[in-house]
Each structure stands twice: as structure tokens, then as C-alpha cells.
Amino acid sequence: MSSGATADATTLANPRELPLELPASYLADGRTLLSWLATTDHKRIAILYAVVITFFFFVGGIAATLVRLELFTPQADLVGSDTYNKLFSLHGIVMVWFFLIPSIPTTMGNFLLPLMIGARDLAFPKLNLVSWYLNLGGGLLTLAAVLAGGIDTGWTFYVPYSTTFSNSFVTLAVLGVLVSGFSTIATGVNFIATVHYLRAPGMTWFRLPLFVWAMYTTSLIFVLATPVLAVTLTLVVAERSFGLPIFDPARGGDPILFQHLFWFYSHPAVYIMVLPAMGVISEVITCYARRRIFGYSFMVYALVAIAMIGFFTWGHHMFTSGMSPYAALVFSFLSFIVAVPSAIKVFNWTATLYRGQIGFESPMLYALGFLGLFTVGGLTGLFLASVPIDVHVQDTYFVVAHFHYIMVGASVSAYFAGLHFWWPKITGRMYPEAWARFAAILMFFGFNLTFFPQFIAGYLGMPRRYHVYPPEFQVWNVLSSAGAAVLAAAYLMPLGYLTWSVFFGSRAPNDPWNASGLEWRTTSPPPRQNFFGNPEVLAQPYNYHPESTPPIKDQPRVPSQGSLT
Amino acid sequence: MGNLIPAFLKPESASVQAAKVDMIFTGLTLISAGIVALVIGLVVTFAIRFRRGSRANRGELPSLVSSEFEIGWTAATLFVFLFIFWWATSIEIGAYSAPKDAMEVHVVAKQWMWKTQSASGAREINELHVPVGAPVRLILTSQDVIHSFYIPAFRLKRDALPYQQTETWFQATKTGSFHLLCTEFCGTDHSRMLGRVIVMEPQDYARWLSAQPERDGLAELGERLFTARGCSGCHDAGSKVHAPSLAGIWGQAVPLEGNRTATVDEAYLRDSILQPKRDVVVGYEPIMPSYEGLLTDGEIQSLVAYIRLGTDKLDLIQSLSLEPSQNICAPGQSSASPRSPAMVPGAPAQTPRP
Amino acid sequence: MSEQRQSPARAIWLRSLVVWAILIALLGLSWLAAYGPFGGWTVAVNFGIAAAQATLVAVLFMRLNEASALVRLAAVCGLFWASILFALTLSDTFSRLANV
């Protein structure tokens, strides 16, 4: 193995650290700001994305904190109604489009996809940089809307309120989302081309790690669904800013048309938010259980099935809009069908633990939390797919709790699991494990305390987007807000110790977790060209034990996926 | 099975549909609890039993665990989910159409209030009185944005759309007063758009009905003029123009520019309509156009009668017929702008009167 | 593929700009057609113009006429996905009409 060592190839070094010779790292490959802002290295672009989405995570989080503070009491005491409406709209728009949708694909996907398939970079590196600028531009436009006075339509922009009645900065915010949509389309195109064309020798489709499959299916949704959002938002801008009659019922339009167009994108969008999380969990659970994934091919088919069937189910957001019972029936049926592959995945992850050698490192704690929270969230989706129950709980806190269980309980847990799992690879540093475990456990309990009472409040009839509410809902709101405080602490902790680790964490070896996967067959952090040599794949992924025997003893991973020569 | 849910975890069950919804909800909760218990139980069991270094047996996987097993549990999951779908749907299908003899109630939603009118002619704001045990068919529309009519106790919700009618029905099984809430975000006071549905015994309902006031014909005419001549374009809530709301101002003392006050009476209103720039209320710009020469004396009288009765006390339930002159959707829009009542190509030009 | 006498980048720019100019011209045509005396045929005329624009993009921009069967299949899948949107949306709209 060539070491390519240089004396000062490190960055952010602890001055008390010994000046060991360390291999060249992508972090040291250019030290100016321009080398970062004009980079085409997928790894640096992943870091750029991570900075932006972390910023937006905390912006959305502050909005959520203010919302939950206001909801401590049934009356209005913290903010006025218009401000409250702007706060929850800000929370939704920022969290959905500027945190969750980009989160795993643009940070971990960008960083790891080429590494996992043995490539030097993505298929279109410059397009990757353009994607980041589009994301940044969209984010700045939306921030401009917020600073100018905010938008109060909710993240769903329902017409005619957003086109005709709202007095807030709808066009500006909508343009921000539109621009960032193009960022994701470009990323999707990039990923699809990369997986098709840049796999290393020996990396066949059914030897791909499940994270790569997850990125691939997510990219399919990106390119098929996001253009519809672009069109829909363009129509909203056309009606609001140019007065063209499109949805306005007074001039022959139909507000329900907007709902169909919007949800045709936004339902697959939730699968954009969950498929990458599932990919991460597959990687983490196999590593810390020292087991091959149970039912690899079913896991692949499940990912593809969720991506495809998810396009047919959007009407379940509109059951109470006066939809005909026949259309409602079709959408309800399809919504039940799409739950089946997700259930299969949960069963397979559970079975992967069977006869494993399970460790409880912090990524595994996040992954186990994911299993519980995703199961609860997914099952409450069945409640919402049943039309009579949906009629009662639509637009109440039951729905809010359901989607937060999946988007926060599952997706954000998986994001943190992946962040911790690949942190040594990305930064070359280890984080303090005790703090990480504490944060993971705190997050699990804080999350449940925040969102489980919302199921109850929702069934009791508390509507969502309510600034003031009837007093009988107060106890559940107080519980929820208390939980939110715990959850906020649990999210701030990683910000603290992960930042600390970048400066003072101990240096990470190439493969601290003894994991399979090509990304661990190179240095931590990797060099600019990803590998020292040409990787070649010799066998199935998740080679934690020989195929027919489970890990009888905790044995080192059988080396089979690639090498460093 | 619906009464397995403890009372503090559900709203009152006050309609026929509520009992059925609670039943499916309970069933689904039990099934879900079972699945969650299974998954979490297995995860915890495996995590403890197969923790790294434990001496549990990790021999060859039993032959039971194979691809047939996977297909088996996939099929089982599919059947369980399809069963739930069938069960929920059977309740929904039966409940969709109102019985033929249902009592009809028209609901008009607007920012930020509910206006209801029953077939017997009783009109109410933010309230609806109905007799217990009788099926009630609701026909809903909106005067501005999308609202949603939600009665948690009845497990009932239907969106009210502008320029369209939506329909639903319920049959109350308990007397009492129940929350009516708006559940489609509609602007500033979305969370204050509360109402009550009051279910009464049939004889009480009959007594209540006979006590409803007669409508004042002059005020009704005034209300039509108010919208037709564009007054509501500025004075309605939700207008982009900063104009005072006229609800409840009759008899009030209003502060004027120059440290004066005026009492809102017939003379003041007449002056405000004909010479609006003379006595402007503090906090408002003198932008109201004058209606000198545009309104006859009789019309001004009708408008005054309307404001005297209270602009929020009368409503235009006949706006449900969607006549252009009476259902102005957007602020600033007048009845003169052409509008197509058809929502889809080929629909009849005039929606049939309910 | 025809020989490029200019540099490849210039050829790409030229082709794209020409296609874009024709698309804008067709957009202008559809704007004019909205005011034209077509009566009930306005929708058909505008659909025709849209079809022309789509064909232009498919042939000149995406070069589907020269592409392999697999690439054409991928393009057709895009149409299929749009048809999911149209079919299920219209199923709701038309069945509402039936209820009115």
C-alpha cells in the first residue's frame, strides 16, 4: 500500500499532537476559501452541503422551539397570530426542503456513493457543484422571504389562500423552493449516471451496498417527481404575481387541482426523505450486529417498490376535500399496499440482529431507535390510509405526530446514525463515544415525549396550525413542549461534541468499526482521488461472516470487498 | 369495541359514525400494538441475547429461515393490511351517502366564521342547532379560501371550497354542545374560527326553531347592496385594503381625526358614504371613494339598516346558488368580472339550486 | 452525427440556443392563439403547439431519433409517470362532477 505521506498534510491539528506522517487527505488538498467554493471534489461538496443544511436545521429548529413555547398555553402569549402562522410555515418549508430532502443524499450520498462503488468521483462533478449553488441560492431566496416579513401559508401553499388572500412574501419563498428543486434534480441525475457507469470492476448491481440502492431509488424519485413541483410552483407564481387565472375558481380554475399537483410531488418527497434513511440503517445494523443483511434481494425489491408505488398514493392527503368515494377508495388501497415493503424492511432488519454479535456503539443506538420509531410511525400511516379514521384526524395533530415520527424519529435518527458511523471516515477523527451514546438515548426519550402526546391530542380533535386552542388540549401540549426541550438539548449535544472532535478528537484509523464496504478500504479521511490504486470487488456486501455460517465468535471481518492495491 | 378507548383519550362519541370510527380505531390500535410489541420485543430480545460476546447459541440458521419464509411473511403482511383496508372501507362505503330523508343544512364558511342555515330557515353564526337522532345533510361552500368543517364529536370533517359545493352528513346520537373547528389553514384567525353544534331533543328543537327571529327585509337588501356595490371589497376581513370592519359598530363611539369623537348613527353612516373624507376614524387613511350620485336614498337607507342590524348577523345563504353578484371571492373583485361557474369543461353553466 | 467545424462547446451552444429560440417562438404563438378566434378549438390548438414543443425537445435536444431503444424507453417512462398524474387526478375530478 502506498502511503503518499506528506509532513503537513493535516488540517486543524491539535498543537500537542505528535507530528506523525499522515497520508494525503482531501481536506488538505487546497487551503483557500476558493478551493472550497470552486471545488469539484464530491467529498468537499458534501461538506459544503453539510454546513448549509446544519444551518437550516437550526433555523427550522428555532422556529419549532418558538411554536412549542407558544403552545404551552391555550391563549396567545408569546407571538401574535400572523407571526405564529409565519413561524410554523417557516418551520415546515425550511425543514422539508432545506434540511430533510437534501440531508442524507447530499451529504452522505455525495460523500459515500463514489467511495462505495469504487469510483473516483461522481459522473458529473461540475454539475455537483452547480447543485450546491442552486441549493444555496434557493435557501438565500427563502431566507430573504423570511427576513422581509415571512410567509404564512403553511409549507403546503394551498390556493386560493396563497395566490389571492395571503399578504405575506409568498412569491419569494416559492421561488426559493423552486430553485432548490432544481438542485435536487441535478443531484438525482448525477447519482443515476454514477451508479450506472462508474461501478468498479466486480461491483455488479446485486453486490451494491443497500445504501447505494437507496441513493439510486431516491434519485429516481428526484428526477420524476420534482419537475412536477417546479411546474406547480411556477403556476402559483404566475397566478399570484402575474394575475393569470389558473387555480382561481372565480375565473374557472379549481383549487383542488393545486392539491393534486402539489401532492403528486410531495408524497414521493416523503419517500425521498425516508429511503436514504433506510439505506443508512442497513449499513449501520449490519456492521454493529456483525451480520450479513437478512434477505438482501427482498430489501432491494422493497426499496424499488416503495419508490414506484409511492407515486400512486398522493390522494390520501385529500380525503376530506370533497373527493369522490371511488377515487378515495383507489388511493386508500394503494396507500395500504405501499406499507407492505416498508414492513418487510423492518422485519429484515430485525432478523439481521438474530444470532449476531450486537454492539451498542452510538450509531447502533440511533439505528435501534430508528427501528422502534419507524415502526410506530409507519403503522400510524395505516390509520391515516383508512378513510373513516382519516376523516376524523386529517389536519389534526395526529397527522403531525405521524409524519414527525417518520421524518424526525426515523429520518433524523438515521441521519445522526450515519453521521456518527461515517464521521471518522469523513473527518479522520473519532468523537467522544460516551457523549454520543447519551445524546442518542436522550434523543429517543425526548422525541417520544414530544410526539406521542400529539397522537392523543389529534384524536381528541386538536387541529394543526392552531395558534390558540381549546383549553382541554393543554395537558398534551404541555407534555409535548416539555419533550421538545429535551429533544432540543439532544440535538445541540452532537453540534457540541462533533465540533470538538474535529479539533481535538483522536485520529481515526482507516476502519475503526471493522466494517465491510469499499469506503473503509481507504484512509480516513480519503485522499482526493478516493483510493490509492484501483479497487476491485470480489464478493457480496456485508461480508461479516462466511455466507453459510453466522458469527459464532466475534471474528474480524472476512476481507473480500476490494483492496487498497 | 369502541368503548375500549378510555374517555380522556377520545372526544365524545355523539354520532352514529363516531361509534364506527372508534371501533376501527380501537381495532387498528390493537393490531398496531401487537406489531410494535412483536418488533420491539424481538429487537430487545435479540439485543440482549445476542450481545457481543454472549454465549448464546449461534449455530447454523434453522432451515425454517429461507426465502419461502420471507415470501411467507410478506404475504401475511399483505393479507393483514388488505384486511384492514377492507374493514375500514366497508364502514366508509356504507356511510358515504346521506339517507333520503336527511334534513338539509347549508354552511357557508368565510374568514373567520361559519354561517349556517337549516332548511327550516333558521340562520346562525358559528352555531348549528340540530335535533338528536335525525340525519342531517350538510352542503358546504366557502366565500373566500378553503376552510374545513370539523366536529370531533361526530368524527366528521369536510372541506368547504370556494365556488363549489361539498357534501357530507351525520346523525347525532347524544344531546349536548360540541366543538366546531376549522381545520384547513385559512389565515390569521384560523384558530379562532370556533363554533358549536348544539344537539337538542326533538321537542326542544321545535321550540327553539319557533323562537327564531323574522328577517328584516330592508337589511337583507342592504346586504346585497353591500357586496354588489363593492363595499365588502374593502370592508370585509381579508381585504388587502386597511378599512375598518363594520361588524357591531352601530351605536359605538369612534375616535376621529383632530381629537373628536362621533357616535355611529344613521347620520354618521350617511355622511361616511357620501362624504367619506370628512370624518375619518383615527388610524385610517382617507381613501374611501365617495358614493355621491351612485346610490339612491332608498339604497342608502337599506345599507344603514344592514349595518344597524349588524353585518355579521345576516348572511347570504343563497350565495350557495353561486350567482356572481352575491359571491365575490377576492377582495377588490366586482360582480362585473366574468366568471365561469363550471369547474370542469362540459359542466352545466348553472349549478342546480339545492 | 454531422462533423463539427466549430469547437464542440460552440456547437452545443448553437444547437441549444436555436432550439430555445424556436421554443420561445412557439410560446409566443400559443399566447397569440389564446386571443385567436378559435372558439372551442382553442384548447386543441394550444395542445398542438405544446406537442410541437415537446417533439422539438425530444428530437433536437434529447436526440431521441438517434438513440438506442433503452434510452427511448426511459423517455417513454417519463410520459408514463405524467400519465399517472393525469389519470388519477381526472378520476377524482370527473367523479366529483358525477356527484354534483
Q: What is the 3-state secondary structure (H, E, C) of A526-553?
A: CCCCCCCCCCCCCCCCCCCCCCCCCCCC
Task: Choose among A557, A2, A4: nearest CA to A287.
Answer: A557
**DSSP summary character for residue A7:** T
Span A217-226, mean pLDDT? 96
Q: Which H or E element spans position A372?
A: helix A362-385
Span B222-227, mean pLDDT? 81
Q: Which H or E element spans position A366?
A: helix A362-385
Contacts of B344 in chain C (CB under 8 A): 93-94, 97
pLDDT in tens, A387-417: 999 999 999 999 999 999 999 999 999 999 9
CB contact under 8 A, A387 and B92: yes
Determine the Cα–Cα distance for residues B288 and A486; give it in Å rounded to an integer: 53
Other CB atoms within a 10 A radius of the CB of residue A209 amount to: 27
HSE-up of residue B327 (Cα within 13 Å, Cβ side) = 27
State the residue for C-alpha cell 357586496. Answer: B227
pLDDT in tens, A242-292: 888 899 888 888 899 999 999 999 999 999 999 999 999 999 999 999 989
User: A524 to chain B nearest CA, in Å?
Assistant: 26
Q: Which chains touch C (3 or more CB pairs under 8 A)?
A: A, B
Residues β-bridged to residue A257: none
Q: What is the pLDDT of residue B337?
A: 37
The gap from C-alpha A414 to its chain's centroid, in whole angstroms, comes to 8
Closest CB to C93: pick one of B165, B344, B351: B344
State residue B167 phi and psi, 5-degree precision: -140, 145
Give the C window 26-85 contacts with A, CB below 8 Å. Answer: 78, 81, 84-85
Instruction: Kindly list the domain boundaries of chain C, sorted by start residue.
Output: 1-66, 67-100
Say whether pLDDT at B154 is over 90: yes
Grid cell in block for residue A511: 476502519
Grid cell in block for residue B262: 362621533
User: C87 to chain B nearest CA, in Å?
Assistant: 15
A166 touches chain B (CB under 8 A): yes
Identify which of B50-59, B147-156, B245-254 has the greatest average pLDDT: B147-156
**b vs e for A451-461, b when ≥16 Cβ sit within 10 Å of the residue's Cβ?**
bbbbbbbbbbb
Q: What is the pLDDT of residue A351?
A: 92
State the residue for C-alpha cell 401475511. Answer: B76
Say whether pLDDT at A128 is over 60: yes
Residue pair A307/A275 in contact (Cβ under 8 Å)? The answer is: yes
Contacts of B11 in chain A (CB under 8 A): 459-461
User: B280 to chain A nearest CA, in Å?
Assistant: 25
Q: What is the pLDDT of residue A37?
A: 95
Grid cell in block for residue A115: 467511495
Determine the Cα–Cα distance for residues A187 and A222; give it in Å rounded to an integer: 8
User: B344 to chain C nearest CA, in Å?
Assistant: 8
User: B316 to chain C nearest CA, in Å?
Assistant: 21
Fold assignment, B217-326: Cytochrome Bc1 Complex; Chain D, domain 2 (1.10.760)
Q: Is the peptide bond before A525 cis (omega within 30 degrees of 0)?
A: yes
Considering the domain B103-210, what is its CATH architecture? Answer: Sandwich (2.60)
Prediction ipTM score: 0.90
Say whether pLDDT at B318 is over 60: no
CB contact under 8 A, B85 and A160: no
Lowest-confidence pick of A92-101, A168-177, B37-46, B116-125:
B116-125
Classify residue B306 as exposed, middle or buried by CB count within 10 Å of its CB (0-12, 13-18, 19+).
Answer: buried
CA dist B145 → A153, A248, B62, B159, B184 (Å): 11, 10, 61, 10, 9
Determine the Cα–Cα distance for residues A482 and A422; give it in Å rounded to an integer: 32
pLDDT above 90 as % of chain A? 80
Determine the Cα–Cα distance for residues A510 and A513; give it in Å rounded to an integer: 9
Considering the domain A37-521, what is its CATH architecture? Answer: Up-down Bundle (1.20)
Q: Is the peptide bond before B112 cis (omega within 30 degrees of 0)?
A: yes
Q: What is the pLDDT of residue B70?
A: 87
Grid cell in block for residue A514: 471493522
Grid cell in block for residue A164: 389571492
Q: What is the pLDDT of residue A552?
A: 62
**DSSP summary character for residue A367:** H
Determine the Cα–Cα distance for residues C81 and A307; give it in Å rounded to an integer: 12
B297 touches chain A (CB under 8 A): no
Say whether pLDDT at A312 is over 50: yes
Q: What is the pLDDT of residue B64?
A: 65
Determine the Cα–Cα distance for residues B248 and A146; give it in Å rounded to an integer: 36
Other CB atoms within a 10 A radius of the CB of residue A532 amount to: 19
State the residue for C-alpha cell 368515494. Answer: A325
> With bands split at pLDDT 50, 70 and 90, how would you rate the model's confidence at A555?
low
CB contact under 8 A, B165 and C99: no
C92 touches chain A (CB under 8 A): yes
Q: What is the pLDDT of residue A15?
A: 57
Say whether pLDDT at A4 is over 60: no
> With bands split at pLDDT 50, 70 and 90, how would you rate the model's confidence at A558?
low
Grid cell in block for residue A325: 368515494
Residue pair A255/A314 in contact (Cβ under 8 Å)? The answer is: no
Say whether pLDDT at A453 is over 70: yes
Give the B window 131-170 contacts with C, CB below 8 Å. Answer: 165, 167
Lowest-confidence pick of A82-96, A269-283, A510-524:
A510-524
Q: Which chains touch B (3 or more CB pairs under 8 A)?
A: A, C
Determine the Cα–Cα distance for residues A86 and A154; give it in Å rounded to an integer: 8
Q: What is the pLDDT of residue A534?
A: 86
Determine the Cα–Cα distance for residues B244 and B265; give it in Å rounded to an integer: 16
Q: One-letter amino acid identity for C17?
A: L
R_g over Cα of chain B = 29
Say whether pLDDT at B55 is over 90: no
Average model confidence (pLDDT) across chain A: 91
Closest CB to C99: pick one of A256, A260, A324: A324
Residue pair A181/A229 in contact (Cβ under 8 Å)? The answer is: yes
Determine the Cα–Cα distance for residues A393 and A384; give it in Å rounded to an integer: 8
Instruction: Kindly list the domain boundaries of chain B, sorted by start residue.
Output: 2-52+63-96, 103-210, 217-326
Percent helix, percent strand, percent coil in chain C, to nearest 5? 85, 0, 15
